[in-house]
Amino acid sequence: MGKNSALVINPIREKEMIRILPYAPQASSTELNWKHLNVSYYQLPSVECPEHTLSKHVISLNLGAPARLERVIDRQVKSDRFTEGEVFSINPAGLYRTIRVVNPAQILHLYLEPEFVSHFAHDRIDPDLVEIIPSFHPHDPFLLQLGLTLKSAVVSGTEIDALYADAAATMLAAHLLRHYSTVAVETQKGVNGLSQSKLDTAIDYIHAHLDEDLSIDTLAKLVQISSYYFVRLFKQSMGLTPHAYIVRQRLERAKHLLKMTDLSIAEIAYRTGFCHQSRFSTVFRQYLHTSPRAYRDQK
């Protein structure tokens, strides 16, 4: 099949994916409405995907028993055996290939918007000069750890807020540019972190909007820098990532409301920016090693 007749697929649309992979994912982030990053977890039998290209960058990992995978690009066949936790491949959007899963496999796909990746290049160079390089069977512990965290969230059904999803997309985009692109995109050093005025602006906004669905993009635009640099510079200034800082501030407000008001736990979760009560209880216990109800009952 030539490139003109190969399938062009948006991988987060199940009706399109089934044209090349006739199996539904065991779990995915599609319903979570993440902006730039999507995750799908498959348990597959032996299967061959016809020649196609995806509209997203895709990172594929083996999360099960040893599996063999073959990939054909421009009639060149690459085949290898992958143990649990290894990266199958990194494929940029627009790459035409045929994939064959030789034996049953548990595969995690991370899909990243190409436009989002280009966003990080424009501060330093012309983003049109940057291309993601295809890679087959790279050794990459970072991708494994990030993939396991995201897989755990989609499989368990645990809600990950938009802020964490933004941060994960940011880390992944920066990692691809640094290690798998045609041009080494230098990161801004930012030795002194954010200026005091920018830091004050960001912190004031966070405290005024703790009950809302905060995002890295919103905070970065507020201080007029890219999302990636905002995360780096904020951490240099505060010693915490924006996500960690916001979670701590939400929990401090929740502790105050639990002790000083008779509001229900569900209402407190809502007022502190958690998507629902179960997520609030999970995070509260994770950080404070007790439940909201038990904390309220303490003398």
Residue 244 domain flag: no
Q: 49 and 159 in one domain?
A: yes
What pLDDT, on a 0 to 100 scale, did the predictor assign at position 59?
Answer: 98
* Lateral strand order in the sheet of 76-82: 7-9, 47-54, 97-101, 67-73, 76-82
Distances (CA, A) of 67 to 12, 61, 86, 144: 24, 11, 10, 16
Pick from 231, 215, 225: nearest CA to 173: 231
Query: Residue 2's pLDDT band (boundaries 50, 70, 90)?
Result: low
Query: Does the pLDDT value for residue 204 go beyond 70?
Result: yes
Q: Which residue has the tokens 């697929």?
A: 9
pTM of the model: 0.72
- Which pLDDT score is estimated for 40? 96
Task: Give the total number of structural domains in the chain.
Answer: 3
Output the CA–CA distances (angstroms, integers) from residue 99 to 68, 87, 96, 199, 208, in the order listed.
11, 15, 10, 47, 49
**Beta strand ranges found along 233-273 (DSSP E):** none
80 located within any domain: yes
In a domain, 247, yes or no: no
**How many C-beta neighbours within 10 Å does residue 184 have?**
12
Is residue 110 in a domain? yes
CATH number at residue 298: 1.10.10.60
> What is the enclosing helix (H) or strand (E) of 135?
strand 135-136
Q: Please indicate, yes or no, whether residues 159 and 117 belong to a single structural domain of this protein.
A: yes
Do residues 50 and 165 share a domain?
yes
**Domain carrying residue 135:** 7-179
- The predicted-structure confidence for 25-53, as pLDDT tens digits, reads as follows 999 998 887 889 999 999 999 999 999 99
Is residue 174 domain-shared with residue 193, that is, in the same domain? no
In this structure, the answer to whether residues 157 and 14 fall within a common structural domain is yes
Q: Are residues 33 and 112 in the same domain?
A: yes
CA distance 170 to 216: 9
- Pair 199, 122 in one domain: no
Domain presence at residue 51: yes
Is the pLDDT assigned to residue 159 strictly greater than 70? no
pLDDT for residue 189: 46
Q: Bridge partners of 9?
A: 54
Q: Indicate if 131 and 156 belong to the same structural domain.
A: yes
Q: Does a structural domain hold residue 248?
A: no
Instruction: Tell me: do 224 and 297 sit in the same domain.
Output: no
Last residue of a domain, which of 152, 179, 206?
179
Confidence of residue 82 (pLDDT cuts 50, 70, 90): very high
pLDDT confidence bin for 75, thresholds 50/70/90: confident
Q: What is the DSSP letter of 43?
A: E
- Find, among 165, 164, 156, the residue nearest to 27 by Cα: 156
Helix (H, G, I), strand (E, B) or coil at 90: strand
Task: Report if residue 246 sits inside a domain.
Answer: no
d(Cα 62, Cα 75) in Å, to the nearest integer?
24
On whether both 234 and 262 belong to a single domain, the answer is: no
Smallest CA-to-CA distance from 9 within 64, 67, 50, 59 is with: 50
Averaged over 269-298, what is the pLDDT?
Answer: 91
Q: Are residues 44 and 121 in the same domain?
A: yes
164 and 200 housed in the same domain: no
CATH number of the domain to which 170 belongs = 2.60.120.10
What tens digit of pLDDT does each residue of 168-197 get? 998 899 899 888 988 755 544 445 788 889
3-state SS, 137-160, equals: CCCCHHHHHHHHHHHHHHHHCCCC
Q: What distance in Å separates the CA atoms of residue 100 and residue 10, rounded to the nearest whole number?
A: 19
121 domain residue, yes or no: yes
- Which of 135, 152, 179 lies at the terminal end of a domain, its last residue? 179
Q: Would you place residue 264 in the very low, low, confident or very high pLDDT band (cuts 50, 70, 90)? A: very high
Q: Which tens digit of pLDDT belongs to each residue from 100-114?
A: 999 999 999 999 999
Mean pLDDT of the chain: 88
| Total length of the chain | 299
